Structures are given as structure tokens and as C-alpha cells.
A and B are shown apart, each in its own frame.
Chain A
Amino acid sequence: MEKIVLPDIPNFDKIDTYLANGGFSAYRKALTQYPDDIIDQVKKSGLRGRGGAAFSAGLKWSFMPKTTDKPKYLCVNGDESEPGSFKDRQIFEYNPFQLIEGILITCYAIGAKTCYIYIRGEYHKWVKFMEKAVETAYEKGFVGEKMKEVFGGGFFCDIHVHKGAGAYICGEESSLMNSIEGKRPYPRVKPPFPAQNGLWGNPTTINNVETITNVPAIINKGWEWYASIGEPKHPGTILFGVSGHVNKPGVYELPSGTLLTDIIYSYAGGVPGNKKIKCVIPGGSSMPPLRGDQLEGVKMDAESLRMAGSAIGTGGIMVMDEDTDLVKVLARITKFYYHESCGQCTPCREGTGWMLKLLNRILRGEGSTKDVELLVSVANNIEGNTVCALGEAAAWPVKFMVTRFRDEFEARVKESAAREVVNKVHSMRRTVNPISPINI
């Protein structure tokens, strides 16, 4: 199978290797066409966003106003803070120039003159990789004003790397824009959408790193070719990051629609000790978890996963074997959202804290059956009641983990309920006759 985003070519991160393998030919080809035709091709290719929502990239671009005096912007989202997701760093490290070429084509198509690549702050090393690549591209005249001489045509654009500083919420597109603008990065209320009112109030498109890196291949080889890879409704290859209880964790680029069981057992080498799988989160920690006995036949693409009761998210597959304590896992996931909630909306700010308290209580063995119901109820009251999708991201794992593994949660609270009864009897005996020793 041919790889699009992470090809198996040594030193592909070097400009000379990239050029020797047809680098920047897609941009040259794009220049011979009208911007609208490029948007049209990307639309027809079926390329869908790789950042979580799986929205059609071409359609998103087509929302950008055609006639406007305002400057237009492109933001490339490399915040990559979703637990279980570690794919974009591979692109920064192994294929930065294809990302840059994808940016050039996208900027040409939507008419943007400036692009910001937003990379999470913890990725110091990868920020440096990307800054170096952008610098090289500037030196060679592939980016910036010199583009006009190098490629011909009247178009040029600038690319800047913006380093985050450790906030999950900045992966949310409107929060990301506020972060670039130097504001406290609260998500914005939508509408207006970024295409109308984005960076500094100007038309802006935000795409994931992986999405943009796919673009040169679509232009070079045609949308028909791209649309024929994998599942027709969500075509192309996807970077699947497999982590947790597998023998060979890592990032695997595979056609969409690859069987989840194939990814886990063939590519990631199965579960250590041949243990059974209890639970798999298929798209990063905010996506609904699947039961280990429901994995057969589940294909990894947006539509198939929706049918299976989850979502593709960022393609970060977290595998948990039969010995995993799911209450502990859920408490840890919830702790993450509690920590990362920006505090703007009450349901999310307070709800994540309540859910964490409930889960910790169950973990301590002090939970009651009511707590399990209460967890789901709190989650339901967060979902849909917040400005951004962090509300859903926090609510879904709780709601679905508890309903799909109810047996496990109920067994845990029953254990503590049983202990409570014993304690009660014991304390009663002591109250009745506190001084005399208890003879059994």
C-alpha cells in the first residue's frame, strides 16, 4: 500500500530528498489552475478533516468569501493535545516539506497571504524541526515574496510557526485563534464561523496538520485516485496511533476502513501475554469507548465507527487488556478534562469537577449505586450545554464508559455497599456494649 503522509523514503525531511521525489510539483501544477478548481478537486476527493470532526476539507475552504478586501488567513492546527494522539509530531519530524507544500496550495486556493502553524508548547523539539524547515523553505524561495520568482505566477504567502504553552483547549479552532491573537484563549461562540470572522475578525480557515499534508498528493495524482483509497465516504489513508496494551505501539498509516482488529493484532502486534481486550477507545480519549467483545468487524473510518457507536476522532487507538481497572481509567480521563476545562462555561467547569469527585469516591470504595446514575446524569447535563466541544469531550467517555461497562461500575459500588453493612453491624455492637470485649 502506498503511503501518502509518511512515505517510507529515508531522509524525506531533507529538502533535497523531498525535491528529488517530486517536491513542490503539486504546487506548480496547482498554479496552472484556478483556485476554485482546486477547492473543487479537494471537495470531490472526499478529503475529510483529521483533527476530530472529520468535516469535508474542500467544503470548509469553499466557505471562505471570494470577494473581500480583508486579509485572509490559514491556521494549521498542530496543537495535538488529545490523549492517545501522537501523529502530527511524526509529520513535523519526517515530512515537514509536504506540510509546507500543502499550506502553499491551500493558501493559493483560499487566497490566504499568511499561515500560522500552531504547535503545542511541549513539542519544543518538533517546533524547532518545523521552524528549521520553514526557514529552509524561505531560503530556497519556496515561501515568501521570492515565491513569485521561483514558481512564477503572482501569488506568494508567508508561513509562521506559533508555539503554544500547554493548554488542551487551544486545539479548539476558535480558542486557537484567540491564543494566536494574544488573548486569554477562551473558545468563541459560533456563529460567526471563522470563515467570516476569524483571526483579527478576518476570514480564516483552520485545518489539521495531517489534513493539509494530504493535499499535495490529491493535486498531483488527481481526486479520482484519492477518492478510490479506502472507504468511499471517508477516503484516503489515516494515521492511526496505537497505544496502551499492545506489543508494538506506534503510528501506522493505513487506508481508511481498515479493520480495528487488524490494526491491533496485525500491525500493533496484539496484546502482551495474549490477554483479552476489555476496552478500546478508537479515536483519542474523548471518543466513546468500545467493549472488547464488540470489536469484531469494526472498520476505522468516520461512518463505520459512527455505526459502531463511537467516532474516529484523531485516530488515536487506546487498547486496554482484561486486567485494566476501568474506574481508574475513567477517573484519569476525567481528571484530564477537569484540568483542561477553560472555565468559561459553568456546566463544563463545574461538571467535570463533580464527575471527578464522584469517580474518586467510587475509587476509594465509598461509592453507592446512586453515584453511578449521578455520573451519567452530570455528563448528560454537560453535553450540548457548552460553547465548545470540550463539554462533549468530557461527557462522552463518562456517559459511554459507565453505560457500556455498567457491570464493572456496579460491582465496584456493591463491594463498598457490602462493606458499609458490615461496618454498621460492627459499630452497633460496639455502641450497645462499648466496654465489654466482643467474643466470637
Chain B
Amino acid sequence: MEFKFTEENLQKIETVLKKYPEKKAAVMPVLYIAQEQNGYISGEVMKEVARVCEMPEEEVLGVVTFYTMYHQKPIGKYHIQVCTNVSCMLRGAYEIYDKVKDQLRINNGEVTADRQFSLEEVECMGSCGTAPMIAVNEDYYENLDVSSTIKILESLK
């Protein structure tokens, strides 16, 4: 399916392009805009981003695959990210992670059948002082335990 930026997003891209001396440098913010519009980065999206940023499609692919935050497959409406790195682990992150897997009945990198939830075990999110934590889409939930995590998940259903 062909991908085209909306008029509004094209204007956003115009502003972004002004920040850099080369169009190619805007590839990361443009990919973010594209992901927000399309939900994930498909091949068609990359084609269009390559055209806008005046760079080869292969290089766009190189950027997309390098980072963890560009999704090449659709994710759930609520993307649950559980940090299990050391500071969180010391304060019970794996109990939370196991509970989330249990509750949603999916594993790392999977999406629920109703497309409501997706799960990702993530590396340190910079919440070590308020560990353990999960992030739902862009929002951090900190100082958690198993029961408060369940409450968060229930509130999303």
C-alpha cells in the first residue's frame, strides 16, 4: 500500500528539515513522524522517507533496523515496555515482567490477538532511582510492584 504523508505532517517535516544543513540528517525525526502516522515503518514508508530525505532506501533501512524504537511490524495500541536491567532487577523487575507476560498471555515481542497490547523487554530506561518501572507507549510508570502493575494493565483494558 502506498504511503503518503498528510498535509499536516508535511508541514512538520518542513520545520524539521530547517534544523539541519542536510536533508539526510532529518531521517530520524521524519521516521518518527511517519511511524506516528502509519503505526509502524513498512517498506512503503521507508520509500517515502527516502524520497523526502533525499537518501537511498537502503540507508533508511539501515537506520530503522539499528534502533529499537522504530517498529517494522505493527504494535499494540498499548505498547508495554518492561525494564529488566540491573537496578530494576534488584527491586523485582522480573516478577513484574513474568506477571505481565502471564496477564497478557504473550511473550516478548508479541502482540495480543485483539491488537490492544504488545510487550517488549527493554534495556535501562533511566528510571533506576524509581525502579522498577514499566512504560506504556510514551509514559513512564515508576516505583512499581506486582499489584500496582496489574492495576495499570487493568486500567488500560
Inter-subunit contact B86/A244 (CB<8 Å)? yes
When distances are taken between beta carbons in the complex, the residues of chain B under 8 Å from A185 are: 66
How far is it, in angstroms, between the C-alpha of A248 and the C-alpha of B29 when the chains are bound? 37
A86 with B128, Cβ < 8 A, contacts A184-B62, A339-B123 known: yes
A interface footprint on B54-90 (CB within 8 Å = 1, 0 otherwise): 0100010011001111100000000000001111011
Q: How far in angstroms is the closest Cβ of chain B from A134?
A: 11
Interchain CB contact under 8 A, B28 and A162: yes
Q: How far is the CA of A249 from the CA of B142 in the complex (A)?
A: 12
Asked if B27 is at the interface of the complex by the 8 Å CB criterion, the answer is: yes
| Chain A residues positioned under 8 Å from B21 (CB to CB) | 71, 200
| B24 close to A181 (CB less than 8 A) | yes
Q: Which residues of B contact A241 (CB under 8 A)?
A: 128-129
**Quick check: B69 and A243 within 8 Å, CB to CB?**
no
Instruction: Say yes or no: B90 contacts A245, CB within 8 Å.
Output: yes
Q: In the assembled complex, how far is the CB of residue A287 from the closest CB belonging to chain B, in whole angstroms?
A: 12
| A249 touching B126, Cβ below 8 Å | no
Min CB–CB distance A138 → chain B (angstroms): 12
Do A332 and B53 form a contact, CB below 8 Å, given A120-B126, A184-B59?
no
Give residues 118-157 of B contacting A (CB, 8 Å): 122-131, 135, 138-140
Looking at the complex, which one of B25, B122, B124 makes contact with A181 (CB distance below 8 Å)? Answer: B25
Q: Which of B28-67 contact A (CB under 8 A)?
A: 28-29, 31-32, 53, 55, 59, 62-63, 66-67
Q: Which residues between 81 and 102 of chain A lie within 8 Å of chain B, taking CB atoms?
A: 81-86, 89
Q: Evaluate contact between B29 and A285: CB separation under 8 angstroms.
A: no
Given known A-B contacts A180-B25, A182-B22, A336-B123, A244 and B87 have beta carbons under 8 A apart? yes
Which residues from B are CB-within-8-Å of A243? Answer: 87, 90, 128-129, 131
CA distance A11 to B32 in the complex (A): 31
Contact yes or no, B126 A89, CB < 8 A: yes
- What CA separation (Å) do A125 and B85 show in the bound complex? 21
State whether B128 touches A165 (Cβ < 8 A): no
Q: Is the CB of A329 within 8 A of B131?
A: no
Question: What residues of chain A lie closer than 8 Å to B139, measured between beta carbons?
Answer: 124-125
The contact of B129 among A86, A160, A342, by CB within 8 Å, is A86
**Considering only CB atoms, which chain B residue lies closest to A343 in the complex?**
B66
Q: Are A251 and B68 in contact (CB under 8 A)?
A: no
A377 at interface by CB-CB < 8 Å:
no
Distance of A73 Cα from B59 Cα, bound (Å):
24
A250:B129 contact, CB within 8 angstroms: yes
Segment 359-376 of A: residues with Cβ below 8 Å from B: none
**Tally of A-B Cβ pairs under 8 angstroms:** 139
Measured in the bound complex, the distance between the Cα atoms of B20 and A81 in whole Å is 24
The distance from the CB of A98 to the nearest CB of chain B, in whole angstroms, is 20
Given A181-B24, A182-B53, A243-B87, A122 contacting B70 (CB threshold 8 A): no
Q: Are A244 and B59 in contact (CB under 8 A)?
A: no
| A249: contacting residue among B20, B24, B130, CB under 8 A | B130
- Give the complex CA separation of A160 and B128 in angstroms: 27
Interfacial chain A residues near B138, Cβ < 8 Å: 124-125
Q: Mark A165-183, 1 if CB is under 8 A from B, else 0.
A: 1111000000000011111
Query: Could you give, for residues 409-439 of chain A, a 1 whenever the CB lies within 8 Å of some chain B CB and a 0 otherwise?
Result: 0000000000000000000000000000000
Which one of B32, B55, B86, B129 contacts A332 once the chains associate, using CB atoms below 8 Å? B86
Of all chain A residues, which has the CB nearest B21?
A: A200
The reply to whether A166 and B62 contact each other, CB–CB distance below 8 Å, is no
A83 in contact with B85 given A163-B29, A336-B124 (CB within 8 Å): yes
* Residues on the B chain within 8 Å of A80, using CB: 126
The verdict on A318 contacting chain B, using a C-beta distance below 8 Å, is yes
Q: Is B99 an interface residue (CB 8 A)?
A: no
Say yes or no: is B4 at the interface (Cβ < 8 Å to chain A).
Answer: no
A282 within 8 A of B: no
0/1 interface trace, chain A 294-315, chain B, CB 8 Å (1 if under): 0000000000000000000000
A179 with B28: CB separation less than 8 A = yes
> B143 to nearest A CB, angstroms?
9
A320 CB within 8 Å of chain B: yes
Q: Is B91 an interface residue (CB 8 A)?
A: yes
Does A345 sit at the interface, judged by CB under 8 A?
no
Kindly list chain A residues whose C-beta atoms are within 8 Å of the C-beta of B68: 165-167
B123 contacts which chain A residues (CB < 8 A)?
81, 83, 168, 336, 339-340
Choose one: A168, A184, A244, A340; the contact of B90 (CB below 8 Å).
A244
A-B pairs with beta carbons under 8 Å apart, 6 shown: A84-B124, A86-B127, A122-B69, A163-B32, A167-B66, A184-B66
CB within 8 Å of A: which residues of B?
19-22, 24-29, 31-32, 53, 55, 59, 62-63, 66-70, 84-87, 89-91, 122-131, 135, 138-140
Q: Which residues of A contact B (CB under 8 A)?
A: 71, 80-86, 89, 120-125, 160, 162-168, 179-185, 200, 241-245, 249-251, 281, 285, 316, 318, 320, 324, 328-329, 332-333, 336, 339-340, 342
Q: What 10 pairs across the A-B complex have the smallest Cβ distances?
A: A165-B67, A243-B128, A166-B68, A83-B124, A124-B138, A243-B87, A166-B69, A182-B27, A184-B62, A182-B24
**A182-B20, A244-B86 provided; 11 other pairs, C-beta below 8 A?**
A120-B126, A121-B69, A162-B29, A182-B24, A182-B28, A183-B59, A243-B87, A243-B129, A249-B87, A249-B131, A329-B89
